[in-house]
Amino acid sequence: MPIITNIEDLRRLAKKRVPRMFYDYADSGSWTESTYRANEDDFQKIKFRQRILIDMEHRSTRTTMIGQEVAMPVAIAPTGLTGMQHADGEILAARAAKAFGVPFTLSTMSICSIEDVAQGTDNHPFWFQLYVMKDRDFITRLIERAKVANCSALVLTLDLQILGQRHKDIRNGLSAPPKLTLANMINIATKPRWALGMLGTKRRQFGNIVGHVKGVTDMSRLSEWTASQFDPKLNWDDVQWIKKLWGGKLILKGIMDVEDARLAAQSGADALIVSNHGGRQLDGADSSINALPAIVDAVGKQIEVHMDGGIRSGQDVLKARALGAQGCYIGRSFLYGLGAMGQAGVAKALQLIHNELDLSMAFCGLTDVEKVDKRILLPGTFPTV
Q: Where are the alpha helices (DSSP H) in 180-249?
A: 182-189, 192-199, 222-229, 236-246
CA triple 81-162-229, angle to 5 deg: 70
Pairing state of beta strands 327-330 and 304-308?
parallel
Secondary structure class of 168 (helix, strand, coil): helix
354 belongs to the catalytic site? no
Active-site option among 86, 124, 212, 277: 277
The CA distance from 61 to 72, in Å, is: 5
**Which positions ≥6 away from 240 have C-beta within 8 Å?**
267, 268
Closest Cα partner for 337 from 71, 116, 85?
85
DSSP 8-state class, residue 109: T
The CA distance from 350 to 367, in Å, is: 19
The values of phi and psi at residue 129, to 5°, are -100, 135
Question: Would you list the DSSP string of 311-357?
Answer: --SHHHHHHHHHTT-SEEEESHHHHHHHHHHTHHHHHHHHHHHHHHH
Asked if residue 2 has a cis previous peptide bond (ω within 30° of 0), the answer is: no
Active site residues: 277
